[in-house]
Amino acid sequence: MNEVCPLCRISLPPGPEQAFEEAVRRFVVVQQLVERGYATWSTLPASAKQEINGAITAWRAAAKDGNMNAQFILGDIYENGSAVAQSYKEAAHWYKKAADQGEAYAQRGLAALFRDGRGVKQSYKEAARWFRKAADQGHAGAQYNLSELYHNGSGVAQSEVESAKWLRKAAELGLPDAQHELGWSYARGTGVPESDVEAVRWFKKAALQGYPASQNCLGLLYDMGKGVAQSDVEAVRWFKQAAEHGFMESQCCLGIMYEKGRGVVQSDVEAVRWYKKAAARGFAIAQSNLGEMYEAGRGVPQSDVEAVRWLRKAADQGEKLAQFKLGNLTRKGRGVAKSEVEAVKWFRKAADQGHVGSQGLMGIAYENGLGVAQDDKEAVRWYQKAAAQGYELAHYSLGSMLMQGRGVAQSDVEAVRCFMKAAEQGFVLAQYSLGAMYMEGRGVAQSDVKAVHWFGKAADQGDEQALDKLEFMIQEGRGIGYGNPESMRWFEKAFD
């Protein structure tokens, strides 16, 4: 309500503060039209344009009179192009005027322009200076931004401790972004002592504010039992909250929980439903999992063509398991033209990322000339990579190459070492080969007892060659005796 002249009782023009507040009211009314989709800033009806122009005129007048709130608002509308032609230069001009008067939001806005080099010459040092001014006034967003600069060493000396300090300030003010990042700081032990319990505490604060990334992290921590008692039910609860917000990773995780029946009643149909949500938005792991569901006909009609389609989407994004699966389907000609050359292409992509099964298959491809020129040295190289990861097939294959001196210096001793690693993992061919090496005394001291032991291991898995060898040794009376109970078991079987 306007003030009245005490003498003539005529309404006086509104004062600067009244004019400012009236301009805000008029602007907000029009802004709501835009936010609700009734118009855009460029298609406002004439009456709304008049309201906006009146508001901006009032702000300009107030800003020129030194009103820092009006200066900040002008900076904001110029930065975002709200009802005016977007101009970072004008935004910086008005932010600077308000920032010089200590307006924290303007200080943060000016800092962001310096950080990004918009409307001003890019300067992390200036960005840090203005973020700090706002942060010192308790502006949570500026505290978070300053933390990022310390984390990256941009405009300030890099310091995870300082980064965590400012994160904590923002987090304690309730900023969910900061609470989430502080959770990660505790999970990783960056700038603070590593603590899964503290990580859970800060993730939960952000999650309770509806922050999907923190809800997903809580789901993962409950899944693994880190910082909390392991609980599939709690994991599902948090995954579901994030998934319903559209968080792709949680949609995929929820699919996995349904596929495995963890924390929920097992349902391939539900698993597929959640995989599809994440896959449709480009989440590679979900695309790969969806491809596997189509390949197996789980929750969807079996379709090699659909399996290939989804696996290819994931493989093209570098998902190594999808590359491996796609290589296998291509090698077999399922859902795609059969091609050893194309199969090797996908196996190589996965192998280069450390996928152990693909490394083993690359070794087989080079050993046998499948889709590549035959090359024993390359075969050995790939077998060595897979064996270094403990892959039993690779240990066995490498042992065979060593025994034959193919692509590597011949060595029975090294061959036995490789066979032993695979045999101890239950690889039946290695168990048979190890039995043969002991029987012949190649690379080891000859021992009929140990030969019977390893032939017996292979025979227990149904290996016919091992059974034949055991029968031969029984007939010859080798490695058989009451001092060797294991051998007596096979002796008795032979007579049965």
What amino acid occupies position 344? Answer: V
CA triple 349-355-361, angle to 5 deg: 75
Is the residue at 57 inside a domain? yes
**What are the residue ranges of helices labelled H in 353-411?**
356-368, 376-388, 392-404
Is the residue at 21 inside a domain? yes
Contacts of 436 (CB under 8 A, 6+ apart): 442, 451, 469
DSSP string, 429-475: HHHHHHHHHHHHTSSS---HHHHHHHHHHHHHTT-HHHHHHHHHHHH
pLDDT of residue 36: 83
Is the residue at 325 inside a domain? no
Is the residue at 40 inside a domain? yes
pTM: 0.84
**Domain ends where: 94, 115, 137?**
137
Contacts of 479 (CB under 8 A, 6+ apart): 447, 448, 449, 450, 451, 452, 473, 487
In this prediction, the residues of the chain whose per-residue pLDDT falls under 70 are 1-19, 481-496
pLDDT of residue 481: 59
Is the residue at 55 inside a domain? yes
Q: How far apart are CA 307 and CA 296, in angstroms?
A: 9
pLDDT of residue 23: 73
Domain total in the chain: 2
CA triple 274-276-280, angle to 5 deg: 130
DSSP string, 65-122: TT-HHHHHHHHHHHHHTSSS---HHHHHHHHHHHHHTT-HHHHHHHHHHHHHTSSS--
Q: Yes or no: say if 399 and 422 are a contact pair by the CB < 8 Å rule.
A: yes
Q: Which residue has the tokens 């046998």?
A: 368
DSSP string, 320-344: HHHHHHHHHHHHHTSSS---HHHHH
**Domain ends where: 81, 115, 137?**
137
Among candidates 104, 56, 102, 62, which has minimal Cα distance to 81?
56
Q: Give the relative orientation of helices 356-368 and 392-404 as an angle to the nearest 10 degrees.
A: 30
Q: What is the CATH number of the domain that holds 17?
A: 1.25.40.10
Is the residue at 458 inside a domain? yes
Among candidates 221, 298, 203, which has minimal Cα distance to 259?
298
The three-state secondary structure class of 4 is: strand
pLDDT of residue 8: 44
Q: Is the dihedral of CA 77, 80, 86, 87 positive or negative?
A: positive
Torsion of CA 367, 369, 373, 375, to 10 degrees: 10
CA distances from 57 to 28, 89, 248, 278, 390 (A): 15, 19, 45, 48, 74
**Domain ends where: 106, 137, 168?**
137
pLDDT of residue 39: 74
CA triple 362-363-368, angle to 5 deg: 100
Among candidates 428, 484, 482, which has minimal Cα distance to 457?
428
HSE (side-chain half, CA atoms, 13 Å) at 451: 24
pLDDT of residue 44: 74
Is the residue at 462 inside a domain? yes
Q: How far apart are the first and last CA of the chain?
A: 111
Is the residue at 398 inside a domain? no
Give residue 31's domain range: 12-137
280: its two tokens: 């449709």
